[in-house]
Amino acid sequence: MKRYRIDEGEKFRLTDFDTRDTSELPGGKKQAEKKSASIQDGLDELQDLFFAARKHKLLIILQGMDTSGKDGTVRHVMGGFDPAGVQVVSFKKPTQVELDHDYLWRVHQHVPAAGEITIFNRSHYEDVLVVRVHELVPEKAWRKRYRHINEFERMLSDNGTIILKFFLHISADEQKERLEARLDDPNKRWKFALGDIEERKLWKDYQKAYEDAINETATKWAPWYIIPADVKWYRNYLVGKILSDTMKKLNLEYPQPELGKVVID
């Protein structure tokens, strides 16, 4: 998975990554389904162990253009997790209370506790993406936020939080097809908004904003993974594999029960 990972100082361009790449699975969708099923079973067990051990915290950040598959990734990769130890947080337009605080205030309230996994479906990165593209704050302000974010994530890491950041990378053509599919399917039409069309007009601006943000915030303690997302089954496989490999490396064990005589009447 190393070739999908962006670490500190590794300057890259999004155009260097093929959004339709499926090279890790030459057997295609059938191979993906078999491997993903095995990974899913293992992840469910790993999450149970993670929750029981309560030694670490895991923060998963999903970013991507509209229709890139953030919801689908959560559903297919993390759908079997025990809700007791998992929360999914979606950051929308800030409320007035949130605007009255610093921009990271609302984010910090949702970071995971020991034994928990938190999934950010969009995140604090909106504050160097949307605000930049729509010119909601001056450039001098959003450029400082790269440093703020790095220091914030470093603090979380120093306190036992494992951070995995995934950029779900789709092409403009694929997005067009998915938006049209939403309109054609009565069961998916509710997901469509006219604002999606307006945002699509800013595609190049968003691509540049993402490229800069990833370059500025890929660190040893919080690397980015560029996930080819045009092919949904490959997207799910990669995210699941990276998550599984990360959790296995922790070598966790279930805690020992309390000693002493137990009598159950």
The CATH number that applies at residue 39 is: 3.40.50.300
Sequence letter at residue 191: K
| Per-residue pLDDT tens digits for 213-248 | 999 999 999 999 999 999 999 999 999 999 999 999
Domain that holds residue 159: 2-248
Is residue 87 in a domain?
yes
| Per-residue pLDDT tens digits for 51-66 | 999 999 999 999 999 9
Q: Pick the closest to residue 193 from 94, 88, 93 (CA basis).
A: 93
| Per-residue pLDDT tens digits for 187-211 | 888 888 888 889 999 999 999 999 9
Is residue 235 in a domain?
yes
Q: What is the pLDDT of residue 261?
A: 65
Is residue 37 in a domain?
yes
Whole-angstrom distance, CA of residue 165 vs CA of residue 170: 16
Confidence band of 11 (pLDDT split at 50, 70, 90): confident
Which residues fall within 8 angstroms of residue 218, CB to CB, at 6 or more apart? 6, 7, 8, 10, 224
Number of folded domains in the chain?
1
pLDDT tops 80 at residue 263: no
3-state class (DSSP) for residue 169: strand
| Per-residue pLDDT tens digits for 168-190 | 999 999 999 999 998 888 888 88
| Per-residue pLDDT tens digits for 89-103 | 998 888 999 999 999
Is residue 164 in a domain?
yes
For residues 16-43, give the mean pLDDT: 95
Q: What is the pLDDT of residue 130?
A: 95
Is residue 160 in a domain?
yes
Confidence band of 260 (pLDDT split at 50, 70, 90): low
